[in-house]
Amino acid sequence: MVAVKPAKPFISAILAFIWLSAFVFINTESSGFLQNTFSLDATSASAVKWGTILVLGVVWLLAQVFIPATAESSRLSLAISGSILWLGLLFFYRFSDPNYGGTVAFFALVGGLAVVLIWSRYLSDEF
């Protein structure tokens, strides 16, 4: 059994939580923080939100590529990040949207199957 160094999975989980928080908590509506505090219009507030999301995604990707770890630690950090983002989708997405709700729900179910299959590898008795 290969030893897992906990630094990379831990950093990956923290970055995934921060990235998920950027999706959920940056409010671009007229009563949101960006428009009230910084006097931004809707387009500028949306650009700030998606710019932040893009930068955090690149930071997460760079952490996955450049933090030295064993292959098992790298796979575990990807599994943790994927699980966090999948749970964030389930908790925070409005599935009642008539345009995309059903499609996103279907792919959320398929993503749930992928999460279960990935974690069954780590929770099984044998590798």
Amino acid at site 44 = S
User: Where does the pLDDT of residue 1 fall: very low under 50, low under 70, confident under 90, or very high at 90 and above?
Assistant: low
- Span 55-83, average pLDDT: 91
String of DSSP letters for 44-83: HHHHHHHHHHHHHHHHHHHHHHHS---HHHHHHHHHHHHH
- pLDDT score at 18: 96
pLDDT, tens only, 112-123 = 999 998 888 777
Q: Which of 13, 26, 19 is nearest to 80 (CA)?
A: 13
DSSP 8-class letter at 118: H
Structure tokens at 20: 């998920």
Structure tokens at 57: 């995604």
How many helical (H) and strand (E) elements, i.e. helices and strands, does the chain have? 5, 0
What percentage of the chain reaches a pLDDT higher than 70? Answer: 94
Give the DSSP H/E element, type plus range, for residue 103.
helix 101-123
How far is the C-alpha of 53 from the C-alpha of 15, rounded, in Å? Answer: 11
- Under 8 Å between Cβ of 119 and 84: no
Say which residue, 61 or 31, is predicted with more confidence: 61
Amino acid at site 64 = Q
- pLDDT score at 2: 64
For the cut 90, the answer to whether the pLDDT of residue 72 exceeds it is: no
- pLDDT score at 50: 94
Supply the pTM of this predicted model: 0.84
